[in-house]
């Protein structure tokens, strides 16, 4: 069982990202879960979304999770949210930030000694999509760090997920995925 | 003519999308609805399918849930296939009309996405609304995940509309935990799904002008009892149709449903009885306990809540030594519903397992694997002692000093 | 109506109005219609009355006021010609007599056990307008 926790603000697309990842993974014959903690949260409020991926049918419906990957798609949440909650020894962090990895670890000391990866999903999404929707670039970064799928396979699968959007938006998302894949450190 | 949707073999849908897709495939004549969290996406999804041309039917946006169910009653009496969806406060507002629907024997299907009842206000999942409706004379079926929500929504039409049943049907699923969690769902093709349900069969339609009829007659003490008795008999007798439809669905899809579901029960010594997504979580915990601790743990769930499968549930639990009944609804001054119903069922059999009650998960409080394993640890103690050594009723997953009753 | 057991009553208390097909029912006179037992037409409320309206066709101008106002559709009128009272369904409320505009009235309330012909023979005279 692979478990992923997303830290996001409502409106940044973490749920869409989690479901998009779910769509891609399900196409490979694996079982997925994608869910989120909802309250009466408004756009901008901190929230978390989750993925479970397994070879077998997923029957565990607890919200509690010790994540294998923590994906932080809003730069401020790396500081204000409890991103290391329920971590495992080998939990991998992919954090959206304009800082370098060393700068970030200096600023957030609890990340010292952990497997931390940084990528500026905000800048990438602004440059490519033109809006601060950092979910698809984060998926590109996750493909690089996890090696879950070959990037070309993943992009092809995402085309299907994004098929309801206009071509321009699809192209921008593809560019965002590619850039994050190559820029994550 | 409605357009058809080409679905993939495996879709990733949440429970609401599962409901909306099944409702689309059923080609409902009238949906009257007043959207409420967490069932809003069911209604939203259905309305979008309709406006995009995938459904030939009417969608009536009304001014309250009372009006929504009233619209459903009117449309069903007029002679069409009718459904709606709601949750929580909306369901509470529908209650008066729910009794009218069942009393008039109208096979309306209601997708109930379970949510807590205020106060305090809460949008998350528990079974307060499900429990509120249990005397309303509707068939009540519970889905534990999105796949089941889809399957059972399809079957709900076939069951309720059966000529020997003609009763309204509630299909439950857990708010958020199921309704907003996307999982792999294997849908049927549009044609297969529709043909499984079949065309709507009219009984006493008001739009048959050659045969004017009165719905909603007044009957006092000289007639009322006979009508209610006939209605109860129809509800009790629907068990067979429900089982038959489950069987037919299995031959079509290889997915098996039973009025009482048993998991890991062949040699189980302790069992949890639960509803909703907790059933599956408990199966996960039972698997772990069997593998790692050698505990013979099992799970039993009443898939069909009304008509309550008294004989089948007693049979499923006859060999266990201790049972925990898990109720996700504040019982309001008594034991939880499952405790009462399971105890009553077992009292009609020879077996006398030790039975206790847990109140858990109110307002969407997470029921973790650790919580479930604690419950199993308790009933293992009861099983070993051969008598109750834990309190009769406990609260699980609650902050503050341990809360229990009848210690 | 005969009482039925639970196994005999109509599911859902859905009650038919007529015993047969009734597509053209509007063109049939009430007495020609095949009313079902569950239709209120077959129930008599005659014994509710203390007073009864008596109809005097010599004074009536067929204005249909009584027909419009009767709460129990107990005024029998055909082709806008007033025929009389349906005494099976009249409860004796007196509205018809009240709304009757003729002078003297064409509908007057009498005791239930008064004889109609006697009452008609003693019908009041036209009242003169008071100056």
Output the 3-class SS for chain A.
CEEEEEEEECCCCHHHHHHHHHHHHHHCCCEEEEEECCCCCCCCCEEEEEEEEECCCCCCCCCCCCCCEEEECCCCHHHHCCCCCCCCCCCEEEEECCCCHHHHHHHCHHHCCCEEEEECHHHHHHHHCCCCCCHHHHHHHHHHHHCCCCHHHHHHHHHHHCCCCCHHHHHHHHHHHHHHHHHCC
Q: Which residues pair with C69 in a beta bridge?
A: none
pLDDT digits (tens, 9 = 90+) for B251-285: 999 999 999 999 999 999 999 999 999 999 999 99
> Is residue B52 within 8 Å of residue B81, measured between CB atoms?
no
Instruction: Tell me how long chain A is.
Output: 185
3-state percent breakdown (helix, strand, coil) of chain B, nearest 5: 40, 20, 40
Beta-strand relationship, A2-9 and A69-72: parallel
- Angle among Cα C9, C15, C19 to the nearest 5 degrees reads 100
Interchain pair C13, B166: CB under 8 A: no
- Can you tell me whether residue A76 is helix, strand or coil? coil
Two tokens at C77? 């009128």
pLDDT at res. B407: 85
pLDDT digits (tens, 9 = 90+) for A80-119: 999 999 999 999 999 999 999 999 999 999 999 999 999 9
**Location of structure tokens 């401020």:** A76
pLDDT at res. B396: 97
Checking if the pLDDT of C71 tops 70, the result is yes
Interchain pair C14, B104: CB under 8 A: yes
pLDDT at res. B291: 98
How far does the CA of residue C24 sit from the closest CA of chain B (Å)? 8
Question: Could you report the predicted ipTM of this complex, rounded to two decimals?
Answer: 0.89
Two tokens at B137? 């004379």
Q: Could you give the domains of chain B?
A: 11-253 (3.40.50.970), 260-405 (3.40.50.920)
Q: In this complex, does chain A touch chain B, defined as having at least 3 beta-carbon pairs under 8 Å apart?
A: yes
Distance of alpha carbon B383 from alpha carbon B389, whole angstroms: 9
Distance of alpha carbon B379 from alpha carbon B387, whole angstroms: 10
- Can you tell me whether residue A36 is helix, strand or coil? strand
Distance of alpha carbon B374 from alpha carbon B367, whole angstroms: 11
Name the residue among B213, B216, B222 with its Cβ closest to that of C3: B222
- Can you tell me whether residue B85 is helix, strand or coil? strand
> Is residue B198 within 8 Å of residue A57, measured between CB atoms?
no
Helix (H) or strand (E) holding B363: none
Query: How confident is the model over B204-217, as a mean pLDDT?
Result: 93
Query: How confident is the model over C69-85, as a mean pLDDT?
Result: 93
Interchain pair C6, B227: CB under 8 A: yes
A93: CATH: 3.40.920.10
Query: How confident is the model over B174-178, as a mean pLDDT?
Result: 97
E strand map for B80-180: 82-86, 109-114, 139-142, 169-174
Distance of alpha carbon B253 from alpha carbon B247, whole angstroms: 10
Instruction: Tell me how long chain C is.
Output: 131
B213 touches chain C (CB under 8 A): yes
CA B44 to chain centre: 21
Interchain pair C21, B213: CB under 8 A: no
Smallest CA-to-CA distance from B219 within C43, C90, C38 is with: C38
Q: What is the DSSP letter of C35?
A: B
Tell me the average pLDDT of chain A: 94
Distance of alpha carbon B336 from alpha carbon B348, whole angstroms: 19
Q: Which residues pair with B83 in a beta bridge?
A: B31, B109
Two tokens at B173? 């699923």
Checking if the pLDDT of B226 tops 70, the result is yes
Q: In this complex, which chains have at least 3 CB pairs below 8 Å with chain C?
A: B
A19 touches chain B (CB under 8 A): yes
Interchain pair A60, B281: CB under 8 A: yes
Interchain pair C6, B106: CB under 8 A: no
Rg (C-alpha) for chain C, rounded Å, is 19
Q: In this complex, which chains have at least 3 CB pairs below 8 Å with chain B?
A: A, C
pLDDT category at C131 given cuts 50, 70, 90 is low
- Side-chain half-sphere of C17: how many Cα atoms within 13 Å? 16
pLDDT at res. B366: 96
- Side-chain half-sphere of A169: how many Cα atoms within 13 Å? 9
- Angle among Cα B189, A161, B149 to the nearest 5 degrees reads 45
**Location of structure tokens 């509470």:** B92
Interchain pair B278, A61: CB under 8 A: yes
Interchain pair B182, A18: CB under 8 A: yes
Interchain pair B123, A60: CB under 8 A: no
Name the residue among B103, B209, B233 with its Cβ closest to that of C12: B103
- Can you tell me whether residue B356 is helix, strand or coil? strand
Q: Which residues pair with B405 in a beta bridge?
A: B393
Distance of alpha carbon C64 from alpha carbon C73, whole angstroms: 12
Q: What is the DSSP letter of B304?
A: E
Q: What is the largest CA-CA distance in chain A?
A: 43
Distance of alpha carbon B42 from alpha carbon B86, whole angstroms: 9
> Is residue B313 within 8 Å of residue B300, measured between CB atoms?
yes
pLDDT at res. C40: 87
pLDDT at res. C30: 84
Identify the residue among A57, A61, A86 best suited for mutation to test binding to B, counting B beta carbons within 10 A and taking the highest. A61
Residues belonging to chain C with any Cβ–Cβ distance to chain B shorter than 8 Å: 3-9, 11-18, 21-23, 25, 38
Tell me the average pLDDT of chain B: 97
Checking if the pLDDT of A40 tops 70, the result is no
Smallest CA-to-CA distance from A149 within A24, A57, A34, A12 is with: A24
Interchain pair C11, B233: CB under 8 A: no
Beta-strand relationship, B169-174 and B109-114: parallel
B178 touches chain A (CB under 8 A): yes
Checking if the pLDDT of B139 tops 90, the result is yes
pLDDT category at A147 given cuts 50, 70, 90 is very high
Distance of alpha carbon A114 from alpha carbon A92, whole angstroms: 7
pLDDT category at A39 given cuts 50, 70, 90 is low
Lowest mean pLDDT among B127-131, B286-290, C46-50: C46-50
Which 3-state string (H, E, C) describes B206-265? CCCCCCCEECCCCCCCCCHHHHHHHHHHHHHHHHHHHHHHHHHHHHHHCCCCCCEEEECC
Output the DSSP codes for C78-122.
ETTEEEEE-TTT-----HHHHH--SSS-SEEEEETTS-HHHHHHT
Beta-strand relationship, C51-55 and C107-111: antiparallel
> Which chain B positions have a beta carbon within 8 Å of C17's beta carbon?
212-214
Distance of alpha carbon B71 from alpha carbon B73, whole angstroms: 5
pLDDT at res. B28: 98
> Which chain C positions have a beta carbon within 8 Å of B212's beta carbon?
16-18, 22, 25
Number of structural domains chain A divides into: 1
Q: What is the DSSP letter of C19?
A: S
Q: Give CATH for domain C44-125.
A: 3.30.70.20
pLDDT category at C2 given cuts 50, 70, 90 is confident
Smallest CA-to-CA distance from B175 within B329, B369, B371 is with: B329
Interchain pair B213, C16: CB under 8 A: yes
Distance of alpha carbon C131 from alpha carbon C125, whole angstroms: 18
How far does the CA of residue C78 sit from the closest CA of chain B (Å)? 23
**Location of structure tokens 């006021």:** C65
Checking if the pLDDT of A153 tops 70, the result is yes
Name the residue among A57, A59, A62 with its Cβ closest to that of B367: A62
Two tokens at B163? 């000529």
Residue spans per domain, chain C: 9-43, 44-125
Where on the phi/psi map is residue B400: left (φ > 0), alpha (ψ -120 to 50), or beta?
Answer: left
Q: Kindly identify which residue of chain C lies nearest to residue B222, measuring between CA atoms.
A: C3
Residues whose CB is less than 8 angstroms from the CB of residue C70 and which lie 6 or more positions away in sequence, other chains included:
C90, C95, C96
Interchain pair B184, A39: CB under 8 A: no
Q: How far apart are the first and last CA of chain A?
A: 25
How far does the CA of residue A109 sit from the closest CA of chain B (Å)? 30
pLDDT at res. A11: 86
Identify the residue among C8, C12, C37, C38 best suited for mutation to test binding to B, counting B beta carbons within 10 A and taking the highest. C12
pLDDT digits (tens, 9 = 90+) for C27-64: 888 888 999 988 988 889 999 999 999 999 999 999 99
Name the residue among B166, B219, B222 with its Cβ closest to that of C13: B219
Other beta carbons within 10 Å of B68 = 28
Other beta carbons within 10 Å of B358 = 30
More confident call, B257 vs A131 = B257
Residues whose CB is less than 8 angstroms from the CB of residue A113 and which lie 6 or more positions away in sequence, other chains included:
none
Range of the domain at A12: 2-183
Distance of alpha carbon C51 from alpha carbon C61, whole angstroms: 23
Checking if the pLDDT of C128 tops 90, the result is no
Name the residue among B174, B180, B284 with its Cβ closest to that of A60: B284
Beta-strand relationship, B213-214 and C15-16: antiparallel
Residues whose CB is less than 8 angstroms from the CB of residue C91 and which lie 6 or more positions away in sequence, other chains included:
C45, C48, C49, C72, C74
pLDDT category at A139 given cuts 50, 70, 90 is very high
**Location of structure tokens 């549009």:** B190
pTM of the predicted model as reported, rounded to 2 decimal places: 0.93
> Which chain A positions have a beta carbon within 8 Å of B369's beta carbon?
60, 62, 64
pLDDT digits (tens, 9 = 90+) for B214-224: 999 999 999 99
């Amino acid at each position: 069982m692979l478990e992923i926790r997303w830290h996001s603000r409502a409106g940044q697309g973490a749920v869409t990202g989690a479901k998009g990842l779910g769509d891609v993974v399900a196409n490979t014959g694996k079982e997925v879960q994608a869910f989120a903690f909802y309250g009466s949260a408004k756009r901008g409020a901190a929230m978390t979304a989750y993925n479970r991926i397994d070879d077998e049918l997923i029957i565990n419906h607890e919200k509690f999770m010790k994540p294998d990957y923590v994906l932080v798609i809003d730069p401020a949440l790396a500081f204000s949210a409890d991103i290391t909650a329920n971590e495992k020894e080998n939990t991998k962090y992919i954090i959206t930030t304009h800082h370098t990895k060393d700068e970030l670890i200096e600023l957030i000391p609890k990340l010292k000694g952990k497997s931390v990866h940084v990528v500026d999903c905000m800048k990438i999404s602004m440059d490519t999509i033109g809006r601060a929707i950092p979910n698809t670039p984060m998926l590109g970064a996750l493909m690089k760090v996890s090696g879950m799928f070959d990037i070309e396979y993943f992009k092809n699968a995402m085309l299907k997920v994004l098929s309801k959007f206009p071509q321009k938006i699809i192209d921008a998302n593809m560019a965002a995925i590619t850039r994050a894949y190559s820029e994550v450190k | 003519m409605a357009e058809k949707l080409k679905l993939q073999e495996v879709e990733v849908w949440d429970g609401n999308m599962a409901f909306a897709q099944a409702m689309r495939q059923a080609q409902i004549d009238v949906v009257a609805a007043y959207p409420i969290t967490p069932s809003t996406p069911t209604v939203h999804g259905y309305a979008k399918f309709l406006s995009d041309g995938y459904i030939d039917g009417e969608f009536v946006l009304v001014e309250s849930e009372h009006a929504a169910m009233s619209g459903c009653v009117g449309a069903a009496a007029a002679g069409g296939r009718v459904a709606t969806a709601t949750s929580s406060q909306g369901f509470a507002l529908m209650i008066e009309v729910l009794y009218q629907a069942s009393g008039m024997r109208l096979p309306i299907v209601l997708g109930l996405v379970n949510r807590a009842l205020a106060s305090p206000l809460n949008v998350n999942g528990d079974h307060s609304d499900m429990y509120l409706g249990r005397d309303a004379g509707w068939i009540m079926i519970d889905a534990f995940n999105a796949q089941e929500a889809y399957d059972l929504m399809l079957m709900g039409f076939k069951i309720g509309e059966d000529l020997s049943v003609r009763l309204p049907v509630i299909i439950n699923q857990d708010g958020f935990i199921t309704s907003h969690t996307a999982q792999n769902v294997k849908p049927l093709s549009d044609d297969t799904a529709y043909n499984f349900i079949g065309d709507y069969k009219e009984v006493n339609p008001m739009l048959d002008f050659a045969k004017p009829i009165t719905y909603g007659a007044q009957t006092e003490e000289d007639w009322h009892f006979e009508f209610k008795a006939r209605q109860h008999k129809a509800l009790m007798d629907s068990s067979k149709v429900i089982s038959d439809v489950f069987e037919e669905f299995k031959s079509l899809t290889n997915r098996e449903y039973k009025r009482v579901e048993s998991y890991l029960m062949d040699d189980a010594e302790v069992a949890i009885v639960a509803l909703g997504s907790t059933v599956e979580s408990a199966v996960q915990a039972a698997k772990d306990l069997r593998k790692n601790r050698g505990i013979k743990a099992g799970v039993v769930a009443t898939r069909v809540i009304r008509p309550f499968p008294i004989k089948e549930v007693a049979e499923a639990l006859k060999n266990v030594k201790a049972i925990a009944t898990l109720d996700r609804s504040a019982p309001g001054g008594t034991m939880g519903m499952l405790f009462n119903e399971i105890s009553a069922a077992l009292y009609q059999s020879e077996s006398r397992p030790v039975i206790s009650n847990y109140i858990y998960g109110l307002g969407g409080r997470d029921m973790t694997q650790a919580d479930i394993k604690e419950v199993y640890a308790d009933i293992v103690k009861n099983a070993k002692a051969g008598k109750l050594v834990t309190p009769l009723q406990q609260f699980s997953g609650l902050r503050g000093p341990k809360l229990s009753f009848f210690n | 109506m005969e009482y039925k057991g639970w196994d005999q009553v109509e599911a859902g208390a859905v009650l038919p109005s007529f015993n047969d097909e009734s597509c053209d029912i509007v063109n049939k006179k009430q007495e020609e219609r095949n009313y079902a037992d569950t239709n209120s037409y077959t129930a008599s409320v005659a014994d509710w009355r203390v007073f009864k309206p008596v109809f005097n066709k010599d004074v009536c101008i067929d204005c249909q006021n009584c027909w419009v106002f009767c709460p129990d559709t107990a005024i029998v009128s055909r082709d806008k010609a007033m025929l009389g009272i349906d005494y099976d369904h009249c409860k004796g409320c007196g509205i018809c007599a009240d709304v009757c505009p003729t002078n003297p009235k064409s509908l007057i309330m009498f005791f239930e056990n008064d004889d109609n012909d006697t009452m008609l023979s003693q019908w009041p005279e036209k009242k003169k307008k008071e100056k």
